[in-house]
Amino acid sequence: MQEHLNFYIDGAWVPAQGTRTQDVIDPFTEQPVARIALGDARDLDRAVAAARRAFPAWAAQSREQRLAVLQAVIAAYEARMDAIAMAVSLEMGAPLTLARQAHAVAGLSHLKQAAQVLAGYAFDEVLNRTRITREPIGVCGLITPWNWPLNQIACKVGPALAAGCTVVLKPSETAPLSALLFAQVLHEAGVPPGVFNLVNGDGPGVGAAMAAHADIDMLSFTGSTRAGVAVAKAAADTVKRVAQELGGKSPHLLIDGVDLASAVRQAALQCFRNSGQSCNAPTRLLVPAHLHAAATAIAVEAAQSLRPGDPRDAATTLGPVANAVQYAKVRECIATGLREGAQLATGGLERPEGLAQGYFVQPTVFAHVSNTMAVAREEIFGPVLCILPYGSEEEAIAMANDTVYGLSAYVSAPDLAHARRIARRLRAGMVHLNGARADHAAPFGGYRQSGNGREWGRMGFEEFLEAKSMFGYEEEQQQAA
C-alpha cells in the first residue's frame, strides 16, 4: 500500500505536523490502496507563509519567464500522462480508458490553455489619460473535488501561476493520488519553491482554515453547493475574493423533429459518463409528450449497452461511483424517486448483475418524471437520468429554467437557428447546441446556486487578476490649433 505522509511545501516534501491519517479506498475493490496524512491549521500556515514569501519574485517575473516555466510543466506532465491516468482510475474509479482519454487529457489541455492565454494577454490598456493594468491577486487557496480531479486542479493551478499568483492546493482527501503526482510534475519542471504548495486534509481540518485565512487573497472552490455556502461564509470576514463552481441539474431539451434515436442515445450516454459524476451532466431529459415512450426505450437501450466492471479492464465502460458516501447518497436518491412515483424504466437499487463488490450503481432511467419531484430538482451525482415530458416549447423552456441551479444546458433541435433561439432563453452559464462539445478556451461556470466566477480560458485567467487604475499616467494630449 502506498504511503503519502508528507506535504509539498516551499519546494520540498515535508512531514505533516499532526498524526491524523486517512486511507484512500479503491472504489472497485473497496479496499485501501494508499494512506495519506491529514493536515491541520499548522500545515496550512506553513504553506501559506511559503506562498507569501514567494509571491513578490514570482509576480515580478516577465511574461516570457513564466511561459518558460509553464512549458516545462507541460512537458513534465506529458511524460507522466499514463501514471496520472492510472492514479485517477485507482482513486475515484473511472475506467482507465476514460481516465486516459478524458481525465488526464483535460488536465494537459488546461495547462496548454493557460500558456496560450498568457502569451497573448494584454495586461495594460489606456482609457483617456488613465493607464489600467491587471496584476496578480496574490496568494490563492485552491480546493478541488474528487470527480474530475486533474481537470479541476489544472484549470485552477495553470491560470493562477500564469497570472503570477502563488498557490496552496487542497485536493480532495478521498482522491489525492493524482494531485500528489501533479505536485511531482511541478517540482520536476522547476517551479520555484513556494510558488506551488500542496496540503492534504479534509474540510474541517484544512478547507475551513483556508477559507478563513487572512493571508490568502483569493479562494477558488469546486464542490457541492452546500459546501460552497460554508466556504463563502468562512471567507466573508477577510473579504477575500471567492470563485465557486458548484452543483447543477442540467436540462437537455429535445425539440420535435430532431433525430430522436441519435439525440436520446447521446443525451443518455452524456448523463452516464464518468458514472454520472459531472456537475454539468445533462440529468433532466425534456422530450415532447408524444415522443416520451419512444425516447424512454432509446434511453433504456443506451443504459443497458454500458458494461460495468473492473475500471482497469479495457472493455469496461462504466466504473463505480467514487466512494462509499456517494454510493449511499445515490442509492437513497433512487429510493426517493421510487417513493415519489417516478417510473423506473431500467436500473434501480441493486448492483449490476455479476458484481458482488464495488460502489456500483446501475445506469438508471426514470420516466414520467415531474419537475416537482426531488429526483428532478436535487443533484444526484450518479448515473441517473430523469425523462420529463412536455407539451409545448414554451413549457419546456419554463421547466428547464425552473431550478435553483444554472450551470449547463443542452439543446437538440432540427436546425442550428432553432437551437440558438432556445439557448438565448435558458438561464445557464453554458449551453451545448446540437451535440457540441465544451471548449476549454471558453468560460466554464454557472448562474444562481451553481456558483460565481468562471474557469477556463481568458476569463478563468482573469479571476486571478486585480485591476489597478493609474490616473494621469498618460501624457496630456495637445489640442490641435
| In the chain, % of residues over pLDDT 70 | 99
C-alpha cell at 256: 420535435
pLDDT mean over 111-136: 98
Is 480 part of any domain? no
E strand or H helix at 412, and its extent? strand 408-412
pTM of the model: 0.96
Q: Does 282 share its domain with 370?
A: yes
49 and 195 in a single domain? The answer is: yes
The predicted pLDDT at position 387 comes to: 98
Q: Which amino acid is at 399?
A: M
Same domain for 240 and 293? no
* Banded model confidence at residue 476, pLDDT cuts 50, 70, 90: confident
**Does the pLDDT of residue 163 top 60, yes or no?**
yes
Is residue 481 over pLDDT 70? Answer: no
Strands (E), 73-223: 124-127, 130-136, 139-143, 166-170, 196-198, 218-222
| Same domain for 284 and 211 | no
Tell me if residue 245 is catalytic.
Answer: yes
Q: How far apart are CA 452 and CA 424, in angstroms?
A: 19
Helices and strands per DSSP (H, E), number in the chain: 16, 21
- The CATH number for 353's domain is 3.40.309.10
Nearest to 443 by CA among 424, 431, 426, 456: 456
Task: State how many domains the chain has.
Answer: 2
Q: Is residue 179 a contact partner of residue 222, using CB atoms and an 8 Å limit? A: no
CATH of the domain at 48: 3.40.605.10
Are residues 265 and 230 part of one domain? Answer: no
Distance CA 49, CA 46 (A): 5
Give mean pLDDT, residues 200-216.
97
Is there a single domain that holds both residue 19 and residue 144? yes
Look at residue 431 in the predicted model and tell me its pLDDT: 98
Question: Which of the following is catalytic: 140, 279, 333, 386?
Answer: 279
Q: What is the pLDDT of residue 146?
A: 97
Distance between CA atoms of 233 and 229, rounded to whole angstroms?
6
Specify if 117 maps to a domain.
Answer: yes
Residue 475 in any domain: the answer is no
111 and 77 assigned to the same domain: yes
Give 91-116 as a DSSP string. Answer: HH---HHHIIIIIHHHHHHHHHHHHH
- Residue-wise pLDDT for 419-444, tens only, equals 999 999 999 999 999 999 999 999 99
Same domain, 90 and 236: yes
Catalytic site residue from 245, 379, 462, 463:
245
Q: What are 354-384's pLDDT values in tens digits?
A: 999 999 999 999 999 999 999 999 999 999 9
Percentage of residues in the chain with pLDDT exceeding 90?
Answer: 99
Range of the domain at 201: 2-246+445-469
Q: Is 474 labeled as catalytic in the residue annotation?
A: no
Contact 376, 370 (CB under 8 A): yes
